[in-house]
Amino acid sequence: MSTVPLSIRPGEAPARRRARPVHRWWRDAAGLVAWATVVFVTALWVSDGGVQQLGSAASGLTSAGRLTGLVSAALLLLQVLLMARIPWVERSYGQDALARRHRLAGFTSFVLLCLHIVLISLGYAAADRTGLAAEVWDLVTTYPGMLLATAGTVALVLVVATSVRAARRRLRYESWHLLHLYAYLGVGLALPHQLWTGTDFTASAVATAFWWTAYATAAAAVLAFRVALPLTLSLRHRLVVDRVVREGNGVVSVHLRGRRLETLPVLAGQFFVWRFRHGPGWTRGKPFSLSAAPDGRRLRITARDLGPGSARLAQLPVGTRVWFEGPYGTLTGAVRTSRKITLFASGIGITPLRALLEELPYARGDAVLFYRFAAATEPLFHHELEHLARTRGVRIHYLPGPRARDRVSWLPAGFAPVPDHSVLRRFVPDIAEHDVYVCGPTAWARAAVECASRCRVPRQRIHFEQFAW
């Protein structure tokens, strides 16, 4: 187990720049822009005679196909913007909330794209009085930009197929992330078809200006926040591996040092996407949370050996250069609304919560930690957590043992006869007055969130976030 001291004592660390708070209206504004975009493209269709053309079978099919194509294109661009890591939007929603909206917009866009292809093909076949197969072949081979659009559709099919939950569970994060980049290819390949043959894209100066602006905005957001900003921060701070510590039980901590880290606006509880320039495959990023509160001099991440991306951390040489994206995530003190806190951690989910316990202000006895782990192992950061208990008065409840087999619970099997919410009220009678932070496997975390809700903790005081993939 690591016996590294916690943070540098007050007065020894340089003054650290804090992340700026994000106003709630950013979330509302982002949602309003999304809905306004869909309404606007529908209005473009109406202004170009879309409703009037619904009168006959052939023109009606074609007009409906045009509408589904327009809305699909708008949602596809919104999908790109949702995951462009725009800082103000990301910090107001959180990555898991953005990921859910990203998936919803993506699947809806794909369904509408399929409808667009079917309806347009049927409408053109009815107008030309030809067979469907012959019409599709003619559309693909003779219309400008259609071959590129077909290739783009294939790329989007690949992205959607690998985004289904069953498929995602079978893929490593690195492989899924690499395949997901084909979404950008799909968007790019669709653009020529839309501008060359899409009458709704070129019907008026307003439509043309809107679509060019929309595509340019999406491209600029990706380049600025997924490429330029991470590159700038990596070059400015020049992070390198300072040392690697094996914590035991397949867990390893990586300590990082760099330049001017006091200016990095990061909070305990956040995560970065890391790329360690060592060995093959280093360009594929992997998300890890900070496991210690940032002190302006060093950062620390901790990971369990769950795959090639995390396993290679143990072999990193000292001095390895590090590229990073972030910080991301809203599991921080910025969302806290009360003076008392209760934290639920399971397994490696202790890492961001241990950092929070170090950074957040609270009085003795006002912070409670429930830590679930396998009975055969010593709890991760045991010495550091005990230090926090002694010096800051954190009340820690270790929960070792196998998980319950007959129900989904945040408690080990030994508590099975007692309802979860009764146990929580027994340990924390005033739980309804606490902010609750949860980090662990999805099913376990949802059980903890539901338990807190049953104990009348307001929903806005329950904070739970997953990595976005």
Model pLDDT for residues 406-427, shown as the tens digit of each residue: 778 999 888 878 889 999 999 9
pLDDT value at residue 185: 66
CA pair distance 118, 415, nearest whole angstrom: 55
Spatial contact of 110 and 182, defined as CB atoms under 8 Å apart: no
Residues 287-306 have a mean pLDDT of 89
Mean of all residue pLDDT scores within the chain: 82
Cβ contact 325:85 at 8 Å:
yes
Pairing of strands 322-328, 271-276: antiparallel
The whole-number pLDDT of residue 131 equals 80
Burial (CB count within 10 angstroms: exposed 0-12, middle 13-18, buried 19+), residue 350: buried
Q: Taking each helix axis from N to C terminus, what angle separates 25-47 and 57-82, rounded to the nearest 10 degrees?
A: 160
* C-alpha distances in Å from residue 418, one per residue of 56, 254, 413: 65, 40, 10
H/E segment holding residue 384: helix 382-392
**5-11: long-range pairs with CB below 8 Å, 24+:** 6/292, 6/293, 6/358, 6/384, 6/387, 6/388, 7/292, 7/293, 7/295, 7/358, 7/359, 8/295, 8/297
Alpha carbon 347 to its chain's center: 20
3-state SS, one letter per residue, for 404-446: CCCCCCCCEHHHCCCCHHHHHHHHCCCHHHEEEEEECCHHHHH
Q: Write the single-letter amino acid at 155.
A: A
Residue 5's pLDDT is 42
For the cut 90, the answer to whether the pLDDT of residue 430 exceeds it is yes
What b/e string do you get for 244-281 counting C-beta neighbours within 10 Å, with b at 16 or more? bbebebebbbbbbbbeebeebebbbbbbbbbbbebeee
Give the mean pLDDT of 66-84.
86
pLDDT band at 100 (very low <50, low <70, confident <90, very high): confident
Judged against a pLDDT cut of 50, whether residue 4 lies above it is answered with no
Q: Which amino acid is at 301?
A: I
Measured in whole angstroms, the distance separating CA 317 from the mean position of its chain's CA atoms is 29
Q: Confidence band (pLDDT; 50, 70, 90) for 6?
A: very low
Banded pLDDT at 3 (limits 50, 70, 90): very low
Q: How far apart are CA 195 and CA 252, in angstroms?
A: 51
> Taking the domains of the chain in order of start, what are their residue ranges?
25-232, 238-328, 333-464
Q: What is the mean pLDDT of residues 235-264?
A: 92
Q: What is the pLDDT of residue 178?
A: 61
C-beta atoms surrounding 131 within 10 Å: 10
As a CATH number, domain 238-328 is 2.40.30.10
Query: 268, 280 in Cβ contact below 8 A?
Result: no
Radius of gyration (C-alpha) of the chain in whole angstroms? 26
The tally of CA atoms less than 13 A away on the side-chain side of residue 156 is 27
Report residue 309: phi and psi, to 5°: -65, -40
Angle between helix 95-128 and helix 57-82 axes, rounded to 10 deg: 160
Question: Tokens 């292809």 appear where?
Answer: 117
Residue 452 has pLDDT above 90, yes or no: yes
| Cα angle: 428, vertex 429, 431; to 5 degrees | 65
Instruction: pLDDT band for 179, please (50, 70, 90 cuts).
Output: low
400: cis peptide before it, omega within 30°? Answer: no
pLDDT of residue 224: 94
Residue 248's pLDDT band, with cuts at 50, 70 and 90, is confident
Top-confidence residue, 190 or 362? 362
How many other C-beta atoms lie within 10 A of the C-beta of residue 169?
Answer: 8
Render 243-280 in DSSP notation, one character per residue: EEEEEETTEEEEEEE-SSGGGS---TT-EEEEEE-SST
> Tokens 């790019």 correspond to what residue?
188
When pLDDT is averaged across residues 433-438 and rounded to a whole number, the result is: 95
pLDDT band at residue 23 under the 50/70/90 scheme: low
pLDDT band of residue 137 (cuts 50, 70, 90) is: confident
Sign of the CA dihedral 394, 395, 400, 405?
Answer: negative
Query: 25-232: which CATH topology?
Result: Four Helix Bundle (Hemerythrin (Met), subunit A) (1.20.120)
Tell me if domain 25-232 and domain 333-464 are identical in fold: no
pLDDT at position 145, please?
A: 67
* pLDDT for res 10: 37
Q: What is the CATH number of domain 333-464?
A: 3.40.50.80
pLDDT of residue 403: 80
Residue 169 CA, distance from chain mean position: 16
What separation, in Å, do the N-terminal and C-terminal C-alpha atoms of the chain show? 30
Angstrom distance (rounded) from CA 72 to CA 59: 20
Q: What is the mean pLDDT of residues 74-90?
A: 84
Of 26, 78, 81, 85, give the one whose Cα is nearest residue 231. Answer: 85
The two beta strands, 340-346 and 286-289, are unpaired
Name the maximum alpha-carbon separation found in the chain.
83
State the Cα–Cα distance between residues 344 and 331, nearest whole angstrom.
12
The Cα–Cα gap between 311 and 252 comes to: 9
Sorted by sequence, the CB contacts under 8 Å of residue 77 that are 6+ apart come out as 37, 187, 214, 215, 217, 218
**DSSP-derived secondary structure letter, 312:** G
Instruction: Return the pLDDT at 13.
Output: 44
